[in-house]
Amino acid sequence: MSRGGRGGGGRQKNQPDFSWEDEEEAPTVPNAYRPPPTFPRLDLPVPRPLDAWESASANAYLSFRTRCHNHSPFYSTLDPSTQTDDKGKVDKRAGVDPFNDQDVYSKRFERRKRTEPDLSGRRDGYALQFFPKELWPLLDPKHKHPLWATLDDGDKLKVVAKKRKRTKLVVATSDDDEEQDGDY
């Protein structure tokens, strides 16, 4: 039994003969047989325009957010490359955005997100009482506070005292046994 093959012609002998003259005429409306739409068209209400107080408060919020993000030294985002899996290994693909991470010319003009706080632009100094004392020289090395001198001197005295005790112990252990008995 032939299935057609090259040139076609398979299994066409016993099929009815169709004539194209019996075709139905096209309906007068082009979409007469189309099903109704699943979601009918809705007329959505148009909100009223903002009054002066609402627009002023929205503008104030947007400017505050922009100032915090762009000018605040402590605002930073998480670095997406630091995302890790369950075992603690860094997954390089976790922080990649295939749609927005492509290098394009206009990307040069966008502000970059900070992953670390920017502490270099402070002119008025820091409120040092909010930082640990170990960071005070790093935050303000030029300014000499009187409290710093006393703290530094106290730390040096403690360290020197510890060193003297150690050196005395070292000197005492390096002498002869007879001299050690006489020292006590």
Kindly report, residue by residue over 49-67, the tens digit of the pLDDT.
Answer: 999 999 999 999 999 988 8
- pLDDT above 60 (res 156): no
Phi, psi of 15 (to 5 degrees): -85, 150
Per-residue pLDDT at 140 exceeds 80: no
In a domain, 47, yes or no: no
Looking at the domain assignment, is residue 52 inside a domain?
no
Residue 168 has pLDDT above 80, yes or no: no
Q: What percentage of the chain carries pLDDT values higher than 70?
A: 42
Q: Is residue 26 domain-resident?
A: no
| Tokens 């303000």 -> residue | 140
In-domain check, residue 140 = yes
Residue at token pair 């112990």: 169
CA distance 126 to 134: 14
Is residue 164 situated within a structural domain? yes
CA distance 9 to 92: 59
Is 163 part of a structural domain of the chain? yes
**Burial of 127 per CB tally in 10 Å (0-12, 13-18, 19+):** exposed
Domain membership of residue 27 (yes or no) is no
Radius of gyration (C-alpha) of the chain in whole angstroms: 42
As beta bridge partners, residue 84 has 90
The per-residue pLDDT for 123 is 64
pTM: 0.31
The count of domains in the chain is 1
pLDDT band at 164 (very low <50, low <70, confident <90, very high): low
Q: Please tell me the distance from the alpha carbon of residue 67 to that of residue 78, in angstroms, as a whole number.
A: 19
Residue range of the domain that includes 131: 125-176
In this structure, of 38-47, 131-140, 167-176, the range with the lowest mean pLDDT score is 167-176
Percent of the chain with pLDDT over 90: 12
Domain assignment present for 66: no
| Rounded mean pLDDT, 67-79 | 71
Q: What DSSP line would sit under 138-151, residue for residue? A: HH-SS---HHHHHH
pLDDT of res. 175: 47
What is the predicted pLDDT for the residue at 31? 67
Is residue 144 over pLDDT 80?
no
Average pLDDT of 109-133?
74
